[in-house]
């Protein structure tokens, strides 16, 4: 991301002030984790990684102030030789003149925030993690069903929006219809949201575009939700084998994260919305360790083994 993107949006709470190096605002931050300078100032700079924002706290400022001018210039030259996108001073400290001059000369933005070092690093890391998160867009519908994020996918015209509308009527919440923006956070979970332009809207064939929030109230929508279950709607094909026990643990790959998935055949007479709601309830139970299909299979296995033992006893 471009460094000048840090000046607006969710980073406003960080109150970042530009002190020097404005010519380098086009530098790119490629790593979401800010780096404390630490021993790098004393010569151990091998751990300094390019693309990461360097954070100067009280100890770094005081250390620079304790150096002679020659030693300070050499230290800053060695530090700035790395591909540093920016330097952030915390706690509102006034930077040494040499630090500001070097930043201006090499065009490395020098920023300052009144926040303390731990809070600044935590907040900056969170914002960068969100801005740099891998993203993709998928055709589908994202719903919040009983607190579970359910992404419905399938071919166009299969009935995803109609199913979502039925779920909204049943008290669940719409996140996105037709276009779902997905981003991976912390390399472990996926967040879904709706583009700002079409937020709260849904397209129903024969009816057109409707505003779900206007029709059903503010509690019927939400802006984003973690995707925890994928439901793939498929047209019913006679003669095709479908999972009837629920023992298969299929997964859907989204940005490298494997999310539980079920394939649901759609046929005339099936109330898909109710089945999707039951699938969400079932997934919530599975997340708590209650797997109905496996429990039944285990019970049947024990029953058969016990019966086989009794028959062997009778033979004896």
CA distance 255 to 75: 41
Residue 1 has pLDDT above 70, yes or no: no
* Whether 99 and 15 share a structural domain: yes
* Whether 74 and 218 share a structural domain: no
Residue 142 has pLDDT above 80, yes or no: yes
What is residue 309's predicted lDDT score, i.e. its pLDDT?
Answer: 61
Q: What is the mean pLDDT of residues 104-124?
A: 89
* Whether 101 and 166 share a structural domain: no
How many domains would you assign to the chain?
2
* HEC sequence for the chain: CEHHHHHCHHHHHHCCEEEECHHHCCCECCCCCCEECHHHHHCCCCCCCCCCCEEECHHHHHHHHHCCHHHHHHHHHHHHCCCCCCEEECCCCCCCHHHHHHHHHHCCCEEECCCCHHHHHHHHHHHHHHHCCCEEEEEEEEEEECCEEEEEECCCCCCHHHHHHHHHHCCCEEEEEEEEEEEEECCCEEEEECCHHHCCEEEECCCEEEEHHHHHCHHHECCEEECCEEEEEEECCCCCCCCCCCCCCCEEEECCEEEEEEEEEECCCCCHHHHHHHHHHHHHHHHCCCCHHHHHHHHHHHHHHHHHHHHHHHHC
* Whether 88 and 209 share a structural domain: no
What is residue 281's predicted lDDT score, i.e. its pLDDT?
Answer: 94
Q: What is the mean pLDDT of residues 115-127?
A: 87
* Whether 285 and 148 share a structural domain: yes
**Mean pLDDT, the chain, as a whole number?**
86
* Whether 21 and 45 share a structural domain: yes
Residue 122 has pLDDT above 90, yes or no: no
What is residue 7's predicted lDDT score, i.e. its pLDDT?
Answer: 47
* Whether 96 and 244 share a structural domain: no
pLDDT digits (tens, 9 = 90+) for 179-232: 999 999 877 889 999 999 999 999 988 889 999 999 999 999 999 999 999 999
Residues designated as active site: 139, 160, 178, 244
* Whether 113 and 79 share a structural domain: yes
Query: What residue numbers bound the domain in which 13 lies?
Result: 3-131
Residue 118 lies in a domain: yes
Q: What is the CATH number of the domain that holds 266?
A: 3.40.50.300
What is residue 225's predicted lDDT score, i.e. its pLDDT?
Answer: 96
Query: Which of 100, 131, 162 is at the close of a domain?
Result: 131
284 versus 44: the higher-pLDDT residue is 284
What is residue 245's predicted lDDT score, i.e. its pLDDT?
Answer: 74
Using the structure block, give the residue that is written with the tokens 């064939």: 205
Q: What is the mean pLDDT of residues 257-278?
A: 90
* Whether 186 and 254 share a structural domain: yes
Q: What is the CATH number of the domain that holds 77?
A: 3.40.1390.20
In contact, 27 and 51? CB cutoff 8 Å: no
* Whether 120 and 210 share a structural domain: no
What is residue 51's predicted lDDT score, i.e. its pLDDT?
Answer: 85
Residue 313 has pLDDT above 80, yes or no: no
Residue 305 lies in a domain: no
Using the structure block, give the residue that is written with the tokens 């151990």: 44
* Whether 152 and 269 share a structural domain: yes
Instruction: Give the best-scoring range by mean pLDDT among 4-8, 31-35, 147-151, 188-192.
Output: 147-151
What is residue 148's predicted lDDT score, i.e. its pLDDT?
Answer: 96
Return the percentage of the chain with pLDDT > 70, whole number: 91
pLDDT digits (tens, 9 = 90+) for 160-192: 999 999 999 999 999 999 999 999 987 788 999
Return the percentage of the chain with pLDDT > 90, whole number: 37
* Whether 145 and 124 share a structural domain: no
């Amino acid at each position: 991301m471009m460094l000048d993107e840090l000046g607006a949006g969710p980073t406003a709470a960080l109150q970042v002030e530009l002190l020097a190096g404005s010519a380098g605002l086009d530098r790119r931050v490629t790593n979401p984790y800010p780096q404390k300078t630490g021993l790098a100032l004393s010569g151990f700079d091998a751990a300094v990684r390019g693309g990461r924002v360097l954070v100067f706290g009280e100890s770094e400022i005081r250390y620079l102030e304790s150096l002679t001018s020659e030693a300070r210039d050499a230290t800053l030259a060695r530090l700035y030789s790395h591909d540093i996108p920016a330097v952030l001073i915390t706690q509102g400290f006034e930077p040494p003149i040499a630090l500001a001059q070097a930043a201006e000369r090499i065009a490395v933005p020098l920023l300052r925030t009144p926040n303390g070092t731990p809070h600044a690093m935590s907040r900056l890391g969170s914002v960068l993690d969100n801005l740099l998160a891998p993203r993709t867009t998928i055709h589908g519908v994202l719903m919040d069903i009983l607190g579970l994020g359910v992404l419905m996918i399938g071919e166009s015209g299969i009935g995803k929006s109609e199913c979502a509308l039925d779920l909204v009527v049943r008290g669940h919440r719409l996140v996105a219809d037709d276009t779902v923006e997905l981003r991976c956070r912390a390399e472990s979970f996926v967040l879904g949201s709706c583009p700002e332009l079409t937020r709260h809207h849904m397209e129903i064939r024969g009816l057109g575009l409707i505003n779900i929030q206007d029709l059903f109230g503010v509690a019927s929508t939400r802006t984003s939700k973690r995707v925890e279950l994928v439901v793939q709607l498929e047209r019913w094909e006679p003669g095709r084998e479908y999972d009837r026990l629920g023992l298969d643990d299929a997964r859907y790959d989204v940005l490298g994260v494997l999310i539980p998935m079920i394939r649901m055949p759609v046929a005339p007479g099936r109330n898909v919305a109710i089945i999707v709601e039951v699938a969400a309830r079932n997934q919530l139970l599975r997340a708590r360790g209650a797997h109905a299909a496996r429990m039944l299979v285990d019970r049947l296995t024990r029953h058969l083994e016990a019966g086989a033992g009794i028959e062997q006893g009778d033979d004896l």
